[in-house]
C-alpha cells in the first residue's frame, strides 16, 4: 500500500515525532513548508486553530496538510487554560513557564479537586477544500509538583486516570496508548484509510 502523504503544519519537533509514531507506516509525513510563516492561532476553539494551521500549510504546499491543536482544561480554573494552553504564561512562554503558572494557580487546591483533561483536535485539509477531523480526550488530574523527564508541554504535571499514578512525562512511549493526541490521530487515521483520501469528515 502506498503511504498517504501529508504535509505537517507543525514546526514543533516533539509534536512531529509523536504524530509520526502514532500514524505509523500508512502515512508519510512531509516537513513543514519552508515558505510557511508563523500562523496566528487566534481561533476561539481548538478546531478553529487546527484549521488555521492546516489551511496555511495546504495553501503554501499545494498538498494535503495535517495540523492539530491541544488544550488542557482544568476544572478548578473553569476550563482554563484551554485554547490558550500554549500561551498560558504569556505570548513567548516556555513549557516550564506554563507549568509553573498552572501550579501557582492551583496552590491550595486539594488533589480531589485538581481534575483536568487534555483535548486534541486533529485535522487534515485537502487542496480541494475538503477536511477530515477527529478529537481525542484523556481525563486526569494535575500533580502538585512536576515529575518526569519525558514528553513536553504539561506532561510533567498531568496524571491520566487510566494510568498507574505516573505523569505523562514519567511514562515514555507508553504515553501514546493513553494520550489525547494518540487518540485523535488514531481516529483520524481510521477516517482517512477507510475510503479514498478526500472522503469523510
Residue 197 has pLDDT above 80, yes or no: no
Residue 139 has pLDDT above 50, yes or no: yes
* C-alpha span between 157 and 100 (Å, rounded): 10
Instruction: Provide, rounded to the nearest whole percent, the portion of the chain with pLDDT above 70.
Output: 96
Nearest to 15 by CA among 34, 2, 29: 29
**Which residue among 42, 68, 69, 173 is the active-site one?**
69
Which CATH code fits 4-193? 3.90.950.10
pTM, to two decimals: 0.87
Residue 103 gets the label, from left (phi > 0), alpha (psi -120 to 50) or beta, of alpha
Instruction: Give the residue, 93 or 176, on which the prediction is more confident.
Output: 93
The verdict on whether 69 is a catalytic residue reads yes
For residues 140-144, average pLDDT? 97
Amino acid at each position: 500500500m502506498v503511504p498517504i502523504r501529508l504535509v505537517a503544519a507543525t514546526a514543533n519537533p516533539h509534536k512531529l515525532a509523536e504524530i509520526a509514531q502514532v500514524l505509523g507506516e500508512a502515512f508519510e509525513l512531509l516537513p513543514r513548508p519552508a515558505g510557511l510563516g508563523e500562523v496566528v492561532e487566534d481561533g476561539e476553539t481548538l478546531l478553529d486553530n487546527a484549521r488555521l494551521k492546516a489551511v496555511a500549510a495546504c495553501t503554501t504546499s499545494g498538498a494535503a496538510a495535517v495540523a492539530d491543536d491541544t488544550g488542557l482544561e482544568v476544572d478548578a480554573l473553569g476550563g482554563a487554560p484551554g485554547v490558550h494552553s500554549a500561551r498560558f504564561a504569556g505570548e513567548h512562554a516556555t513549557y516550564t513557564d506554563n507549568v509553573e503558572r498552572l501550579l501557582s494557580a492551583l496552590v491550595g487546591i486539594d488533589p480531589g479537586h485538581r481534575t483536568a483533561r487534555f483535548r486534541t483536535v486533529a485535522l487534515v485539509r485537502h487542496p480541494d477544500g475538503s477536511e477530515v477531523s477527529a478529537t481525542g480526550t484523556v481525563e486526569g488530574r494535575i500533580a502538585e509538583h512536576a515529575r518526569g523527564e519525558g514528553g513536553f508541554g504539561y506532561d510533567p504535571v498531568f496524571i491520566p486516570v487510566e494510568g498507574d499514578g505516573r505523569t505523562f512525562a514519567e511514562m515514555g512511549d507508553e504515553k501514546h496508548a493513553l494520550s489525547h493526541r494518540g487518540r485523535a490521530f488514531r481516529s483520524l487515521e481510521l477516517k482517512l484509510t477507510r475510503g479514498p483520501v478526500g472522503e469523510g469528515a
